[in-house]
Structure 1
Amino acid sequence: MSRLMRATLPMLLAAATAAVCAQSPPAAEVQQVTVTGAARHSVEKSFRKMMHGMDFFEQAKAGLAPQAVLRFKLLPRKPGTDMDHIVLEVIGSSFDYKVPVAPDHTFVLERNRLAMDEDAVVSPNRRRLSMTWRTDIRSPGLPPGTRRLGDLRLECLVGLEADLVSNSNPLALIADLFADSRRYCERKDAKYLFFAERPLFSVTLVAGERREVLPVDQLYAGASDDPGLKQDLPYCDCEVLVDRTYFLPLGDRSWPDDTRVEFEYMDDRP
Protein backbone atom coordinates (compact mmCIF):
# COMPACT_ATOMS: atom_id res chain seq x y z
CA MET A 1 0.00 0.00 0.00
CA SER A 2 1.39 3.40 -0.97
CA ARG A 3 2.67 5.99 1.52
CA LEU A 4 -0.07 8.35 0.32
CA MET A 5 -2.75 5.75 0.99
CA ARG A 6 -1.39 5.11 4.48
CA ALA A 7 -1.66 8.81 5.21
CA THR A 8 -5.13 9.09 3.69
CA LEU A 9 -6.83 6.13 5.40
CA PRO A 10 -7.19 7.67 8.86
CA MET A 11 -8.74 10.80 7.32
CA LEU A 12 -11.15 8.67 5.29
CA LEU A 13 -12.24 6.77 8.37
CA ALA A 14 -12.63 9.94 10.39
CA ALA A 15 -14.84 11.46 7.69
CA ALA A 16 -17.00 8.34 7.47
CA THR A 17 -17.37 8.17 11.24
CA ALA A 18 -18.25 11.87 11.43
CA ALA A 19 -20.93 11.38 8.78
CA VAL A 20 -22.44 8.54 10.79
CA CYS A 21 -22.46 10.41 14.09
CA ALA A 22 -23.88 13.54 12.48
CA GLN A 23 -26.93 11.64 11.28
CA SER A 24 -27.53 9.08 14.00
CA PRO A 25 -29.98 10.00 16.77
CA PRO A 26 -29.06 9.30 20.40
CA ALA A 27 -29.28 5.63 21.28
CA ALA A 28 -32.65 4.59 22.58
CA GLU A 29 -32.91 3.53 26.19
CA VAL A 30 -32.86 -0.20 26.79
CA GLN A 31 -36.44 -1.50 26.87
CA GLN A 32 -37.48 -4.95 28.01
CA VAL A 33 -39.41 -6.73 25.27
CA THR A 34 -42.84 -8.08 26.19
CA VAL A 35 -45.28 -10.04 24.10
CA THR A 36 -48.02 -7.44 24.41
CA GLY A 37 -46.44 -4.15 23.39
CA ALA A 38 -42.81 -3.49 22.72
CA ALA A 39 -42.05 -6.47 20.49
CA ARG A 40 -43.16 -4.70 17.34
CA HIS A 41 -40.74 -1.85 18.12
CA SER A 42 -37.73 -4.16 18.57
CA VAL A 43 -35.17 -5.30 16.05
CA GLU A 44 -36.76 -8.74 15.87
CA LYS A 45 -36.37 -11.52 13.29
CA SER A 46 -38.59 -14.37 12.16
CA PHE A 47 -37.89 -17.70 13.89
CA ARG A 48 -39.14 -19.56 10.82
CA LYS A 49 -36.79 -17.69 8.49
CA MET A 50 -33.84 -18.27 10.79
CA MET A 51 -34.69 -21.97 10.84
CA HIS A 52 -34.81 -21.84 7.05
CA GLY A 53 -31.31 -20.38 7.11
CA MET A 54 -30.16 -23.19 9.41
CA ASP A 55 -31.65 -25.79 7.06
CA PHE A 56 -29.87 -24.17 4.12
CA PHE A 57 -26.58 -24.22 6.06
CA GLU A 58 -26.91 -27.98 6.62
CA GLN A 59 -27.60 -28.54 2.92
CA ALA A 60 -24.83 -26.29 1.58
CA LYS A 61 -21.97 -26.75 4.07
CA ALA A 62 -20.59 -29.91 2.43
CA GLY A 63 -19.68 -27.97 -0.71
CA LEU A 64 -18.32 -24.82 0.92
CA ALA A 65 -17.32 -25.39 4.52
CA PRO A 66 -17.71 -29.04 5.57
CA GLN A 67 -16.17 -28.57 9.04
CA ALA A 68 -17.83 -25.25 9.86
CA VAL A 69 -20.19 -24.44 12.72
CA LEU A 70 -23.04 -21.92 12.46
CA ARG A 71 -23.85 -19.27 15.04
CA PHE A 72 -25.80 -16.04 14.72
CA LYS A 73 -24.29 -12.69 15.71
CA LEU A 74 -25.68 -9.38 16.98
CA LEU A 75 -23.94 -6.13 15.98
CA PRO A 76 -24.48 -2.48 16.97
CA ARG A 77 -26.01 -0.05 14.51
CA LYS A 78 -26.47 3.17 16.45
CA PRO A 79 -23.92 5.00 18.62
CA GLY A 80 -24.16 4.04 22.28
CA THR A 81 -26.08 0.79 21.75
CA ASP A 82 -25.45 -1.41 24.81
CA MET A 83 -24.32 -4.78 23.45
CA ASP A 84 -23.31 -6.29 26.80
CA HIS A 85 -26.66 -6.65 28.56
CA ILE A 86 -28.88 -8.05 25.82
CA VAL A 87 -31.89 -10.16 26.75
CA LEU A 88 -32.74 -12.30 23.72
CA GLU A 89 -36.04 -14.15 23.62
CA VAL A 90 -38.07 -16.37 21.32
CA ILE A 91 -41.64 -15.06 21.59
CA GLY A 92 -44.74 -16.84 20.34
CA SER A 93 -48.42 -16.18 20.95
CA SER A 94 -48.59 -18.59 23.91
CA PHE A 95 -45.00 -18.74 25.22
CA ASP A 96 -41.61 -17.07 25.45
CA TYR A 97 -38.15 -18.28 26.46
CA LYS A 98 -34.70 -16.77 26.70
CA VAL A 99 -31.75 -17.58 24.41
CA PRO A 100 -28.25 -17.30 25.95
CA VAL A 101 -25.99 -14.71 24.28
CA ALA A 102 -22.22 -15.32 24.49
CA PRO A 103 -19.73 -12.55 25.43
CA ASP A 104 -18.85 -12.17 21.73
CA HIS A 105 -22.56 -11.44 21.04
CA THR A 106 -23.15 -14.74 19.23
CA PHE A 107 -25.84 -17.32 19.93
CA VAL A 108 -27.37 -20.53 18.63
CA LEU A 109 -31.05 -21.30 18.10
CA GLU A 110 -32.53 -24.64 19.07
CA ARG A 111 -35.23 -26.10 16.87
CA ASN A 112 -38.69 -25.79 18.40
CA ARG A 113 -41.89 -27.06 16.80
CA LEU A 114 -44.19 -24.77 18.80
CA ALA A 115 -42.14 -21.73 17.80
CA MET A 116 -42.49 -22.79 14.16
CA ASP A 117 -46.24 -23.40 14.47
CA GLU A 118 -46.86 -20.02 16.13
CA ASP A 119 -44.59 -18.11 13.75
CA ALA A 120 -42.52 -16.85 16.69
CA VAL A 121 -40.03 -13.98 16.59
CA VAL A 122 -36.47 -13.84 17.88
CA SER A 123 -36.40 -10.57 19.77
CA PRO A 124 -33.67 -8.71 21.70
CA ASN A 125 -34.57 -5.98 24.19
CA ARG A 126 -33.36 -3.26 21.85
CA ARG A 127 -35.33 -0.86 19.67
CA ARG A 128 -35.74 -1.14 15.92
CA LEU A 129 -32.63 -0.21 13.89
CA SER A 130 -30.42 -0.03 16.98
CA MET A 131 -28.76 -3.34 16.03
CA THR A 132 -28.21 -5.62 13.08
CA TRP A 133 -27.72 -9.36 12.60
CA ARG A 134 -25.30 -11.62 10.75
CA THR A 135 -24.37 -15.27 10.55
CA ASP A 136 -21.03 -16.32 12.06
CA ILE A 137 -19.74 -19.42 10.27
CA ARG A 138 -16.27 -20.67 11.15
CA SER A 139 -14.15 -23.70 10.32
CA PRO A 140 -11.81 -24.86 13.11
CA GLY A 141 -8.03 -24.52 13.11
CA LEU A 142 -7.59 -21.11 11.48
CA PRO A 143 -4.79 -18.81 12.73
CA PRO A 144 -5.81 -15.66 14.64
CA GLY A 145 -6.68 -12.70 12.42
CA THR A 146 -7.81 -14.86 9.50
CA ARG A 147 -11.01 -16.23 8.02
CA ARG A 148 -11.71 -18.84 5.34
CA LEU A 149 -13.33 -17.69 2.08
CA GLY A 150 -15.66 -20.70 1.87
CA ASP A 151 -16.99 -19.91 5.34
CA LEU A 152 -17.67 -16.32 4.29
CA ARG A 153 -19.35 -17.39 1.04
CA LEU A 154 -21.66 -19.51 3.15
CA GLU A 155 -22.26 -16.59 5.56
CA CYS A 156 -23.63 -14.56 2.66
CA LEU A 157 -25.92 -17.33 1.49
CA VAL A 158 -27.24 -18.27 4.91
CA GLY A 159 -27.57 -14.64 6.00
CA LEU A 160 -29.79 -13.80 3.06
CA GLU A 161 -31.77 -17.04 3.31
CA ALA A 162 -32.43 -16.24 6.99
CA ASP A 163 -33.42 -12.65 6.10
CA LEU A 164 -30.87 -11.10 8.47
CA VAL A 165 -29.87 -8.05 6.41
CA SER A 166 -31.97 -5.13 7.60
CA ASN A 167 -33.32 -1.81 6.34
CA SER A 168 -31.98 -1.59 2.80
CA ASN A 169 -32.77 1.53 0.82
CA PRO A 170 -36.03 0.81 -1.04
CA LEU A 171 -34.75 2.94 -3.91
CA ALA A 172 -31.50 1.01 -4.28
CA LEU A 173 -31.18 -1.23 -7.30
CA ILE A 174 -30.63 -4.43 -5.31
CA ALA A 175 -34.06 -6.00 -5.43
CA ASP A 176 -32.59 -9.18 -6.91
CA LEU A 177 -30.53 -9.59 -3.72
CA PHE A 178 -33.73 -10.55 -1.96
CA ALA A 179 -35.33 -12.27 -4.94
CA ASP A 180 -32.45 -14.70 -5.53
CA SER A 181 -29.88 -14.72 -2.74
CA ARG A 182 -27.88 -17.60 -4.19
CA ARG A 183 -27.37 -15.86 -7.50
CA TYR A 184 -26.49 -12.63 -5.71
CA CYS A 185 -23.83 -14.23 -3.49
CA GLU A 186 -22.24 -15.85 -6.54
CA ARG A 187 -21.52 -12.49 -8.18
CA LYS A 188 -17.92 -11.31 -8.36
CA ASP A 189 -19.10 -7.85 -7.30
CA ALA A 190 -21.55 -8.94 -4.58
CA LYS A 191 -21.91 -6.10 -2.08
CA TYR A 192 -22.63 -8.22 0.96
CA LEU A 193 -21.09 -6.43 3.94
CA PHE A 194 -18.81 -8.39 6.23
CA PHE A 195 -17.61 -7.06 9.59
CA ALA A 196 -14.13 -7.57 11.00
CA GLU A 197 -13.44 -7.76 14.72
CA ARG A 198 -11.66 -4.39 14.85
CA PRO A 199 -11.09 -1.34 12.59
CA LEU A 200 -9.32 -2.45 9.42
CA PHE A 201 -6.15 -1.27 7.76
CA SER A 202 -6.09 -3.89 4.98
CA VAL A 203 -7.51 -7.26 3.89
CA THR A 204 -5.43 -9.77 1.89
CA LEU A 205 -6.52 -12.92 0.05
CA VAL A 206 -4.00 -15.78 0.12
CA ALA A 207 -4.27 -19.01 -1.90
CA GLY A 208 -1.01 -20.95 -2.15
CA GLU A 209 1.59 -18.59 -3.62
CA ARG A 210 -1.02 -16.13 -4.78
CA ARG A 211 -1.55 -13.04 -2.63
CA GLU A 212 -3.78 -10.05 -3.37
CA VAL A 213 -4.56 -7.05 -1.19
CA LEU A 214 -8.14 -5.90 -1.60
CA PRO A 215 -8.40 -2.40 -3.09
CA VAL A 216 -9.49 0.30 -0.67
CA ASP A 217 -12.88 0.65 -2.40
CA GLN A 218 -13.67 -2.84 -1.07
CA LEU A 219 -13.22 -1.56 2.50
CA TYR A 220 -15.16 0.89 4.68
CA ALA A 221 -18.51 0.19 2.93
CA GLY A 222 -17.00 1.58 -0.29
CA ALA A 223 -16.57 5.02 1.32
CA SER A 224 -13.63 5.96 -0.92
CA ASP A 225 -15.73 5.39 -4.03
CA ASP A 226 -19.13 6.68 -2.88
CA PRO A 227 -19.68 10.45 -2.77
CA GLY A 228 -23.22 9.76 -1.55
CA LEU A 229 -22.15 7.74 1.49
CA LYS A 230 -23.55 10.25 3.97
CA GLN A 231 -27.00 10.00 2.38
CA ASP A 232 -26.81 6.20 2.13
CA LEU A 233 -25.75 5.44 5.70
CA PRO A 234 -29.25 5.49 7.22
CA TYR A 235 -30.08 2.56 4.91
CA CYS A 236 -26.90 0.62 5.71
CA ASP A 237 -26.62 -1.64 8.73
CA CYS A 238 -22.99 -0.54 9.02
CA GLU A 239 -23.66 2.92 10.47
CA VAL A 240 -21.27 2.72 13.44
CA LEU A 241 -19.02 -0.05 12.05
CA VAL A 242 -17.93 1.50 8.75
CA ASP A 243 -14.25 1.11 9.66
CA ARG A 244 -14.72 -2.67 10.11
CA THR A 245 -16.55 -3.43 6.87
CA TYR A 246 -15.27 -5.14 3.77
CA PHE A 247 -16.54 -6.77 0.58
CA LEU A 248 -15.14 -9.96 -0.97
CA PRO A 249 -15.06 -11.34 -4.53
CA LEU A 250 -17.49 -14.09 -3.50
CA GLY A 251 -18.30 -15.21 -7.04
CA ASP A 252 -14.71 -15.25 -8.32
CA ARG A 253 -14.05 -18.98 -8.38
CA SER A 254 -10.38 -18.44 -9.19
CA TRP A 255 -10.17 -17.99 -5.42
CA PRO A 256 -10.90 -21.45 -3.95
CA ASP A 257 -12.98 -21.96 -0.81
CA ASP A 258 -9.79 -22.66 1.19
CA THR A 259 -8.47 -19.17 0.39
CA ARG A 260 -7.31 -17.49 3.57
CA VAL A 261 -8.62 -13.99 4.28
CA GLU A 262 -5.98 -12.15 6.34
CA PHE A 263 -6.72 -8.96 8.31
CA GLU A 264 -4.36 -6.18 9.27
CA TYR A 265 -5.98 -3.95 11.86
CA MET A 266 -5.46 -0.26 12.50
CA ASP A 267 -4.21 -0.95 16.01
CA ASP A 268 -1.59 -3.36 14.59
CA ARG A 269 0.20 -0.43 12.94
CA PRO A 270 3.25 1.06 14.71
Structure 2
Amino acid sequence: MPTAKASASFLFFPRFAKPMAWTCLAAFACLNAAAQVKSGGDLPTVTISAKANPDPVEKSYRKMINGMDLFDKERGVLSPNGSLRFKLLPRRLDTDLNRIEMEVIGTTVDFPVPIAPDQTFTLARHQKAYDENAQVSPNRRAQSMTWRTEIKTPGLPPGTRRLGDLRLECRVGMEAGLISNRSNIVGRMVKALLDTPAYCDRQVPLYLFFAERPLFSVVLVAGPRREILTIDMLYAAASDDPKLKDELPYCDCEVLVDRTYVLPLGDRSWPDDTRVEFEYMDDV
Protein backbone atom coordinates (compact mmCIF):
# COMPACT_ATOMS: atom_id res chain seq x y z
CA MET A 1 0.00 0.00 0.00
CA PRO A 2 1.53 3.38 -0.95
CA THR A 3 1.94 5.90 1.80
CA ALA A 4 0.04 9.16 1.77
CA LYS A 5 3.36 11.00 1.84
CA ALA A 6 4.57 9.26 -1.32
CA SER A 7 1.24 9.81 -3.05
CA ALA A 8 1.11 13.47 -2.21
CA SER A 9 4.63 14.02 -3.55
CA PHE A 10 3.85 12.68 -7.06
CA LEU A 11 7.12 10.74 -7.20
CA PHE A 12 8.60 9.78 -10.57
CA PHE A 13 9.37 6.09 -11.05
CA PRO A 14 11.94 4.81 -13.56
CA ARG A 15 9.79 2.00 -14.99
CA PHE A 16 7.52 4.60 -16.62
CA ALA A 17 10.29 6.87 -17.79
CA LYS A 18 11.06 5.07 -21.07
CA PRO A 19 7.49 4.40 -22.31
CA MET A 20 6.42 7.84 -21.20
CA ALA A 21 9.23 9.31 -23.28
CA TRP A 22 7.89 7.73 -26.45
CA THR A 23 4.28 8.73 -25.83
CA CYS A 24 4.44 12.01 -24.00
CA LEU A 25 7.68 13.31 -22.51
CA ALA A 26 9.79 12.96 -25.67
CA ALA A 27 7.19 14.86 -27.59
CA PHE A 28 7.38 17.59 -24.94
CA ALA A 29 11.12 18.00 -25.47
CA CYS A 30 10.58 18.19 -29.21
CA LEU A 31 7.90 20.81 -28.66
CA ASN A 32 10.35 22.97 -26.73
CA ALA A 33 13.00 22.60 -29.44
CA ALA A 34 10.57 23.28 -32.25
CA ALA A 35 9.35 26.42 -30.50
CA GLN A 36 12.78 27.94 -31.08
CA VAL A 37 12.45 27.63 -34.86
CA LYS A 38 9.83 29.89 -36.33
CA SER A 39 8.67 29.28 -39.85
CA GLY A 40 7.22 32.07 -41.90
CA GLY A 41 5.69 29.78 -44.49
CA ASP A 42 2.88 28.31 -42.44
CA LEU A 43 -0.43 30.14 -42.44
CA PRO A 44 -2.44 30.14 -39.20
CA THR A 45 -5.60 28.08 -39.07
CA VAL A 46 -8.71 30.26 -39.12
CA THR A 47 -11.60 29.01 -37.01
CA ILE A 48 -15.04 30.57 -37.28
CA SER A 49 -16.90 30.58 -33.98
CA ALA A 50 -20.21 32.11 -33.09
CA LYS A 51 -18.55 33.55 -29.97
CA ALA A 52 -15.50 34.89 -31.87
CA ASN A 53 -13.16 33.07 -29.52
CA PRO A 54 -9.64 33.95 -30.75
CA ASP A 55 -8.04 30.78 -29.36
CA PRO A 56 -10.66 28.01 -29.42
CA VAL A 57 -10.48 24.50 -28.05
CA GLU A 58 -12.53 22.29 -30.29
CA LYS A 59 -12.88 18.77 -31.59
CA SER A 60 -13.97 17.15 -34.82
CA TYR A 61 -17.68 16.36 -34.82
CA ARG A 62 -17.06 13.64 -37.40
CA LYS A 63 -14.43 11.91 -35.28
CA MET A 64 -16.61 12.08 -32.17
CA ILE A 65 -19.50 10.53 -34.09
CA ASN A 66 -17.08 7.83 -35.28
CA GLY A 67 -16.30 7.22 -31.60
CA MET A 68 -20.02 6.84 -30.88
CA ASP A 69 -20.25 4.33 -33.74
CA LEU A 70 -17.37 2.34 -32.24
CA PHE A 71 -19.15 2.33 -28.88
CA ASP A 72 -22.29 0.93 -30.50
CA LYS A 73 -20.23 -1.71 -32.30
CA GLU A 74 -18.21 -2.93 -29.30
CA ARG A 75 -20.41 -2.31 -26.30
CA GLY A 76 -22.03 -5.76 -26.50
CA VAL A 77 -18.69 -7.36 -25.59
CA LEU A 78 -16.98 -4.81 -23.37
CA SER A 79 -19.86 -2.90 -21.76
CA PRO A 80 -23.25 -4.56 -22.34
CA ASN A 81 -25.11 -2.29 -19.92
CA GLY A 82 -22.93 0.79 -20.17
CA SER A 83 -23.91 4.22 -21.51
CA LEU A 84 -21.64 6.72 -23.25
CA ARG A 85 -21.22 10.39 -22.49
CA PHE A 86 -18.42 12.83 -23.21
CA LYS A 87 -16.84 14.72 -20.33
CA LEU A 88 -15.08 18.08 -20.05
CA LEU A 89 -12.19 18.44 -17.58
CA PRO A 90 -10.02 21.40 -16.53
CA ARG A 91 -6.40 21.88 -17.60
CA ARG A 92 -5.75 25.07 -15.66
CA LEU A 93 -6.40 25.98 -12.02
CA ASP A 94 -8.37 29.00 -13.15
CA THR A 95 -10.51 27.13 -15.69
CA ASP A 96 -14.21 27.60 -14.94
CA LEU A 97 -16.21 24.69 -16.31
CA ASN A 98 -19.49 26.12 -15.09
CA ARG A 99 -21.81 27.76 -17.58
CA ILE A 100 -19.86 26.52 -20.59
CA GLU A 101 -21.63 27.10 -23.87
CA MET A 102 -20.88 24.70 -26.71
CA GLU A 103 -21.95 24.47 -30.32
CA VAL A 104 -21.48 22.24 -33.32
CA ILE A 105 -20.39 24.60 -36.12
CA GLY A 106 -20.17 23.61 -39.76
CA THR A 107 -20.10 25.53 -43.02
CA THR A 108 -23.89 25.87 -43.29
CA VAL A 109 -25.12 24.29 -40.07
CA ASP A 110 -24.78 25.01 -36.37
CA PHE A 111 -26.64 23.91 -33.27
CA PRO A 112 -26.11 24.06 -29.49
CA VAL A 113 -24.89 21.16 -27.35
CA PRO A 114 -26.46 21.07 -23.85
CA ILE A 115 -23.97 20.36 -21.05
CA ALA A 116 -25.07 18.72 -17.80
CA PRO A 117 -24.05 20.12 -14.38
CA ASP A 118 -21.42 17.36 -14.10
CA GLN A 119 -19.79 18.68 -17.32
CA THR A 120 -20.90 15.71 -19.44
CA PHE A 121 -22.83 15.77 -22.69
CA THR A 122 -23.98 13.68 -25.62
CA LEU A 123 -23.97 14.57 -29.31
CA ALA A 124 -27.00 14.50 -31.57
CA ARG A 125 -26.42 12.85 -34.93
CA HIS A 126 -26.70 15.32 -37.80
CA GLN A 127 -25.76 14.14 -41.28
CA LYS A 128 -25.03 17.58 -42.71
CA ALA A 129 -22.73 18.46 -39.79
CA TYR A 130 -20.95 15.13 -40.33
CA ASP A 131 -20.58 15.74 -44.08
CA GLU A 132 -19.22 19.25 -43.48
CA ASN A 133 -16.72 17.97 -40.90
CA ALA A 134 -18.14 20.42 -38.36
CA GLN A 135 -16.34 21.32 -35.13
CA VAL A 136 -17.58 20.82 -31.58
CA SER A 137 -16.63 24.20 -30.16
CA PRO A 138 -16.93 25.30 -26.51
CA ASN A 139 -16.40 28.91 -25.48
CA ARG A 140 -13.11 28.17 -23.74
CA ARG A 141 -9.53 28.82 -24.87
CA ALA A 142 -7.16 26.13 -26.09
CA GLN A 143 -5.11 24.46 -23.34
CA SER A 144 -7.73 25.46 -20.76
CA MET A 145 -9.64 22.16 -20.74
CA THR A 146 -9.49 18.60 -21.99
CA TRP A 147 -11.94 15.92 -23.06
CA ARG A 148 -12.59 12.28 -22.20
CA THR A 149 -15.23 9.65 -22.76
CA GLU A 150 -17.24 8.40 -19.81
CA ILE A 151 -18.75 4.93 -20.04
CA LYS A 152 -20.48 3.68 -16.90
CA THR A 153 -22.43 0.56 -16.03
CA PRO A 154 -25.27 1.44 -13.64
CA GLY A 155 -25.62 -0.16 -10.23
CA LEU A 156 -21.92 -0.41 -9.30
CA PRO A 157 -20.96 0.28 -5.66
CA PRO A 158 -19.71 3.81 -4.91
CA GLY A 159 -16.00 4.31 -5.55
CA THR A 160 -15.77 1.54 -8.15
CA ARG A 161 -15.63 1.22 -11.92
CA ARG A 162 -15.82 -1.76 -14.26
CA LEU A 163 -12.70 -2.66 -16.26
CA GLY A 164 -14.62 -3.44 -19.46
CA ASP A 165 -16.17 0.03 -19.35
CA LEU A 166 -12.73 1.59 -19.01
CA ARG A 167 -11.31 -0.53 -21.83
CA LEU A 168 -14.04 0.80 -24.06
CA GLU A 169 -13.49 4.36 -22.79
CA CYS A 170 -9.93 4.16 -24.07
CA ARG A 171 -10.93 2.75 -27.45
CA VAL A 172 -13.72 5.28 -28.00
CA GLY A 173 -11.54 8.15 -26.76
CA MET A 174 -8.82 7.26 -29.25
CA GLU A 175 -11.30 6.87 -32.11
CA ALA A 176 -12.94 10.20 -31.21
CA GLY A 177 -9.60 12.05 -31.19
CA LEU A 178 -10.05 13.47 -27.71
CA ILE A 179 -6.43 13.45 -26.51
CA SER A 180 -4.84 16.90 -26.49
CA ASN A 181 -1.27 18.21 -26.98
CA ARG A 182 -0.57 17.25 -30.55
CA SER A 183 0.10 20.75 -31.94
CA ASN A 184 3.44 20.44 -33.76
CA ILE A 185 4.75 18.17 -36.52
CA VAL A 186 6.30 15.70 -34.08
CA GLY A 187 3.03 15.59 -32.18
CA ARG A 188 1.15 14.82 -35.38
CA MET A 189 3.53 11.96 -36.10
CA VAL A 190 2.97 10.54 -32.62
CA LYS A 191 -0.75 10.99 -33.10
CA ALA A 192 -0.70 9.02 -36.34
CA LEU A 193 1.12 6.16 -34.62
CA LEU A 194 -0.81 5.98 -31.37
CA ASP A 195 -4.25 7.55 -31.71
CA THR A 196 -6.10 4.43 -32.80
CA PRO A 197 -8.24 2.09 -30.70
CA ALA A 198 -5.58 -0.64 -31.15
CA TYR A 199 -3.27 1.36 -28.86
CA CYS A 200 -5.57 0.39 -25.97
CA ASP A 201 -4.75 -3.30 -26.51
CA ARG A 202 -1.20 -2.81 -25.20
CA GLN A 203 -0.42 -4.45 -21.88
CA VAL A 204 -0.39 -1.11 -20.04
CA PRO A 205 -1.19 1.67 -22.50
CA LEU A 206 -0.40 5.13 -21.20
CA TYR A 207 -3.99 6.28 -21.56
CA LEU A 208 -4.67 8.53 -18.59
CA PHE A 209 -7.86 8.00 -16.64
CA PHE A 210 -9.05 10.51 -14.04
CA ALA A 211 -10.73 9.58 -10.76
CA GLU A 212 -13.36 11.77 -9.13
CA ARG A 213 -11.05 12.85 -6.29
CA PRO A 214 -7.32 12.72 -5.39
CA LEU A 215 -6.22 9.09 -5.17
CA PHE A 216 -4.52 7.12 -2.42
CA SER A 217 -4.69 3.72 -4.13
CA VAL A 218 -6.39 1.76 -6.90
CA VAL A 219 -7.20 -1.95 -6.56
CA LEU A 220 -8.24 -4.52 -9.19
CA VAL A 221 -10.63 -7.21 -7.91
CA ALA A 222 -11.78 -10.26 -9.90
CA GLY A 223 -13.30 -12.99 -7.73
CA PRO A 224 -10.68 -13.99 -5.13
CA ARG A 225 -7.91 -12.23 -7.04
CA ARG A 226 -7.00 -8.82 -5.66
CA GLU A 227 -4.10 -6.62 -6.77
CA ILE A 228 -3.11 -3.10 -5.74
CA LEU A 229 -1.76 -1.04 -8.61
CA THR A 230 1.87 -0.11 -8.10
CA ILE A 231 2.41 3.55 -7.38
CA ASP A 232 4.13 4.10 -10.72
CA MET A 233 0.73 3.50 -12.34
CA LEU A 234 -0.66 6.48 -10.46
CA TYR A 235 -0.14 10.26 -10.77
CA ALA A 236 0.95 10.15 -14.46
CA ALA A 237 4.52 9.34 -13.33
CA ALA A 238 4.80 12.99 -12.35
CA SER A 239 7.55 14.40 -10.16
CA ASP A 240 8.47 17.46 -8.17
CA ASP A 241 11.64 17.62 -10.29
CA PRO A 242 11.69 21.18 -11.74
CA LYS A 243 12.49 19.88 -15.25
CA LEU A 244 9.46 17.59 -15.23
CA LYS A 245 7.30 20.37 -13.84
CA ASP A 246 8.27 22.43 -16.88
CA GLU A 247 6.95 19.62 -19.10
CA LEU A 248 3.72 19.08 -17.17
CA PRO A 249 1.83 21.93 -18.89
CA TYR A 250 2.03 19.93 -22.14
CA CYS A 251 0.08 17.07 -20.57
CA ASP A 252 -3.69 17.32 -20.31
CA CYS A 253 -3.34 15.92 -16.79
CA GLU A 254 -1.69 19.16 -15.65
CA VAL A 255 -4.07 20.02 -12.78
CA LEU A 256 -5.42 16.48 -12.36
CA VAL A 257 -2.17 14.65 -11.59
CA ASP A 258 -3.35 13.52 -8.16
CA ARG A 259 -6.42 11.87 -9.77
CA THR A 260 -4.58 10.16 -12.62
CA TYR A 261 -4.09 6.42 -13.11
CA VAL A 262 -3.40 3.93 -15.90
CA LEU A 263 -4.63 0.35 -16.14
CA PRO A 264 -3.45 -2.98 -17.61
CA LEU A 265 -6.08 -2.77 -20.33
CA GLY A 266 -4.40 -5.33 -22.58
CA ASP A 267 -3.89 -7.91 -19.83
CA ARG A 268 -6.77 -10.27 -20.59
CA SER A 269 -6.14 -12.27 -17.43
CA TRP A 270 -8.27 -9.52 -15.91
CA PRO A 271 -11.83 -10.09 -17.22
CA ASP A 272 -14.07 -7.23 -18.28
CA ASP A 273 -16.14 -7.63 -15.10
CA THR A 274 -13.09 -6.84 -12.96
CA ARG A 275 -13.90 -4.16 -10.40
CA VAL A 276 -11.60 -1.15 -10.22
CA GLU A 277 -11.82 0.10 -6.62
CA PHE A 278 -10.63 3.53 -5.53
CA GLU A 279 -9.37 4.65 -2.15
CA TYR A 280 -9.22 8.41 -1.99
CA MET A 281 -6.89 10.68 -0.07
CA ASP A 282 -9.76 12.07 1.97
CA ASP A 283 -10.73 8.52 3.01
CA VAL A 284 -7.48 7.86 4.88
1:98 aligns with 2:112: yes
Corresponding residue SS for 1:71: strand
Normalised to the residue count of structure 2, the TM-score between the two structures is 0.80
Change (3 A) 1:147 1:248: same
Q: Root-mean-square deviation (CA), in Å?
A: 2.4
In structure 1, stretches of 5+ residues that fail to align are 14-32
Cα deviation for residue 227 of structure 1 reads 8.3
Pick aligned residue for 1:243 from 249, 255, 258: 258
1:223 aligns with 2:238: yes
1:229-268 to structure 2, matched below 5 A, reads 229-268=244-283
Contact 1:176 / 1:184 at 8 angstroms: preserved in 2? no
Contact 1:233 / 1:239 at 8 angstroms: preserved in 2? yes
Which position in structure 2 is the counterpart of 1:16?
Answer: none
Q: Separation in 2 of the partners of 1:64 and 1:83?
A: 30
Which position in structure 1 is the counterpart of 2:171?
Answer: 157
Q: Counterpart amino acid of 2:160?
A: T
Contact 2:170 / 2:207 at 8 angstroms: preserved in 1? yes
Q: Separation in 1 of the partners of 2:223 and 2:80?
A: 20
Contact 2:201 / 2:265 at 8 angstroms: preserved in 1? yes
Cα deviation for residue 41 of structure 1 reads 2.0
1:27-106 to structure 2, matched below 5 A, reads 35=49, 38=52, 41-106=55-120
Q: Separation in 2 of the partners of 1:148 and 1:90?
A: 31
Which position in structure 1 is the counterpart of 2:145?
Answer: 131
Change (3 A) 1:90 1:193: same
Q: Counterpart amino acid of 1:97?
A: F
Contact 1:217 / 1:225 at 8 angstroms: preserved in 2? no
Deviations 1:211-260 (A, max 9, x none): 11101111111125988532331221011111110000000001000000
Contact 1:217 / 1:223 at 8 angstroms: preserved in 2? no
Q: Separation in 2 of the partners of 1:219 and 1:84?
A: 28
Pick aligned residue for 2:123 from 95, 109, 120: 109
In structure 2, stretches of 5+ residues that fail to align are 12-46
Q: Separation in 2 of the partners of 1:225 and 1:153?
A: 30
Which position in structure 1 is the counterpart of 2:204?
Answer: 189
Pick aligned residue for 1:118 from 123, 127, 132: 132
Q: Separation in 1 of the partners of 2:74 and 2:145?
A: 27
Corresponding residue SS for 1:155: helix
The alignment covers a number of residue pairs equal to 248
Cα deviation for residue 119 of structure 1 reads 1.6
Deviations 1:79-131 (A, max 9, x none): 11001110011111223221110111000001001211222110110001110
Corresponding residue SS for 2:10: helix
Cα deviation for residue 175 of structure 1 reads 2.4
